Structure 1
Amino acid sequence: MDFFSRTGKMALGSRLRLLTARLTDDAATIYDVYEIGLKPKWFPVFFVLSEEGEKTITEIAGEIGHSQPSVSKIVREMTAAGLISENNDTEDKRRNVVALTPEGIEATARIKEQYSDVNAAVEDMIASSRHNLWEAIEEWEYLLDRKSLYQRVEEQRKIRESKKVRIVPYAEQYRATFKTLNEEWISTYFEMEEADYKALHDPEGYIIDKGGSIFVALYDNEPVGVCALIRMQDPAYDFEMAKMAVSPVARGKNIGFLLGQAVMRKAKELGGKQIYLESNTVLKPAIGLYRKLGFRKIAGHFTPYKRCNIQMAADLHTFAD
């Protein structure tokens, strides 16, 4: 079809809906030919009840992967058609148990031949095609269970957006950006503390002159993110990753990850073996970012920050861009 040739794979959902509509129309005709009296959308509920007997709506929904409201609507329609009835003889009157009526059971007996013919027709199509659609659907379901299409699109968006990002070393012109971004970030979730004021009011003296570094993320040449590498006087950890902040208008562009990589790369270049950071578990995206960079949870290290409730460290030997 020319439309799908023009749109490419971004119209995957539309093409699948069109294919589903064609199969559903054929299925409705098939039910009529075999005089079964079913609608295609009823089949999952009908099949479960015919194979396993009475079930609650919740049980049916869980088994066929539909929502409870969807199953409830189908049950009402099948009840009106005389194929399903509620079973009021159960001990727990709160459980809405449904089962096939005698008419529904009779349809179960008559549908066997239809099952056989449909299965044979589908097998014939599979044999006539280069790709096994049934197996491909299983593979796609597995892949989407692991990571949704939305998540995959978000990843690609970040990759594309990150190509517009440049990570540059700190310069005096970025002093205000370093201070402003961190103050905005800290004040959004916590309160500024004494150690914050020391670092943000004199980043050169507090960080750079002591053997550390600061990196700035530029997006379309505008500074939108910062992160510091602080040299530590500690027998276990050589450096600390600190003061990472990204402008709200630039989030979702992989900037935090790129800054983290730049800091870890610099720490490794300077001969560092272990890098340390402090955070708070309320910042779930940040914790996820640190884990992605290779940090693991540790405990017992002194911290000057009241807001710190998690400490993490990473082995720079295993770090690779």
Structure 2
Amino acid sequence: MNFFNKTGKMAIGSRLRMLTEMITEDAANIYKLYNTDMQPKWFPVFYVLSQGEAKTITDIAKEIRHSHPSVSKIAREMVKHGLVIEKKDNTDGRRNMVSLSAKGLTIAQNMGDQYTDVNLAIEQLMSQTRNDLWKAIEEWEFLLEQKSLLNRVREQKKERESTNVKIVDYIPKYKQAFRDLNTEWISKWFKMEEADYKALDNPEGYILNKGGYILVALYNNQPAGVCALIKMDDPDYEYEMAKMAVSPAVQGKNIGFLLGNAIVEKARLLGAKKIYLESNTILKPAINLYHKLGFNKVAARTSPYERSNIQMELIIK
């Protein structure tokens, strides 16, 4: 096992396959030991059908949690081997029903001793271990159903890459980046409007000098994202979160969430109780991000933007 000690958890798939191959090889020899005409990969389908009820391939696939093509292939192999028969459903001629043949039923009736001996051998093996593999497998299956290994790796990748992100206050040298990043996404999905030009052409006069703030996300010390906190002249809201943009070249690195969090924290330090924003529901990733930050939809208000079809607020606690 020195190889796996070197690779660490990266080789979990290979290690599980090796364990599976070891057990499968033993299983094939166990069937021979009991003169059972069976292949290990057939057993899940065989067991389901041994309960006495004919089933469709779809029903079997759902029960044993295999793919439909996989179960269909196994069933065909078992038909050729004389263990299974297929026939049309009496009530629905479009469906093929699968059941054990006379040979299959005989094997099922003669497997009692094999079931007993295999179960006892596995229980003995488990009693010699410090960890209960059966329960561990159940726990892994449950946790991976909630969140796949792929998504867990994605999260770790985002977290690692986010360490290369630094959120800084706007200074004049970031003016072009503020304009370019916003112009890029607005032009891709919509059209530039008068309110856009006012904010992007003159961020100092339109945002900063009126009590607002702009934050810039640097990725490897290069501007990769921007977001503004605009002071509002509104009895319901003190600030609007606006002009959030992240370069497509670095999307997927958690920059939007880090920027949003920083803007919320800035508003909190300023004593704000609520933050307002406007967006469009076509921008699903953005809407998901706002929900993740804690924003909720509010009743429609008059907007300076034609593209706006959703307004949201965050109550700062």
TM-score computed with the length of structure 1 as normaliser: 0.96
In structure 2, distance between residues paired with 1:256 and 1:62: 39
Question: How many residue pairs end up in the alignment?
Answer: 317
Contact kept, 8 Å, 2:277 with 2:313, in 1: the verdict is yes
In structure 1, distance between residues paired with 2:109 and 2:309: 64
In structure 2, distance between residues paired with 1:14 and 1:270: 53
Counterpart position of 1:176? 176
The alignment partner of 2:88 has SS state of coil
Counterpart position of 1:70? 70
In structure 2, distance between residues paired with 1:71 and 1:209: 68
Counterpart position of 1:142? 142
1:31 aligned to 2:28?
no
**1:52 Cα shift?**
4.6
* Structure 2 unaligned residues grouped into runs of 5+: none
Higher mean Cα deviation, 96-105 or 300-309? 300-309
Counterpart position of 2:244? 244
**1:110 Cα shift?**
1.1
Contact kept, 8 Å, 2:279 with 2:308, in 1: the verdict is yes
Change beyond 3 A, Cα 1:276–1:37: same
Amino acid at match of 2:229: L
In structure 2, distance between residues paired with 1:125 and 1:260: 53
The alignment partner of 2:305 has SS state of coil
Counterpart position of 1:295? 295
Counterpart position of 1:93? 93
Counterpart position of 2:197? 197
Counterpart position of 2:46? 46
Amino acid at match of 2:4: F
**1:301 Cα shift?**
2.2
In structure 2, distance between residues paired with 1:90 and 1:103: 23
The alignment partner of 1:166 has SS state of strand
Matches within 5 A, 1:1-321: 1-88=1-88, 90-317=90-317
The alignment partner of 2:4 has SS state of helix
The alignment partner of 2:266 has SS state of helix
In structure 2, distance between residues paired with 1:111 and 1:196: 75
**1:49 Cα shift?**
0.8
**1:87 Cα shift?**
2.1
Contact kept, 8 Å, 2:165 with 2:217, in 1: the verdict is yes
In structure 2, distance between residues paired with 1:130 and 1:24: 23
In structure 1, distance between residues paired with 2:213 and 2:30: 71
Higher mean Cα deviation, 239-248 or 294-303? 294-303
The alignment partner of 1:55 has SS state of coil
Percent identity of paired positions between Structure 1 and Structure 2: 60
Deviation per CA, 1:262-282, whole angstroms, max 9, x where unpaired? Answer: 101111111100011112222
**1:89 Cα shift?**
5.2
Q: CA RMSD in A?
A: 1.1
**1:234 Cα shift?**
1.7
In structure 2, distance between residues paired with 1:111 and 1:238: 75
In structure 2, distance between residues paired with 1:209 and 1:89: 77
The alignment partner of 1:114 has SS state of helix
In structure 2, distance between residues paired with 1:270 and 1:278: 21
TM-score computed with the length of structure 2 as normaliser: 0.97
**1:223 Cα shift?**
0.6
**1:88 Cα shift?**
2.7
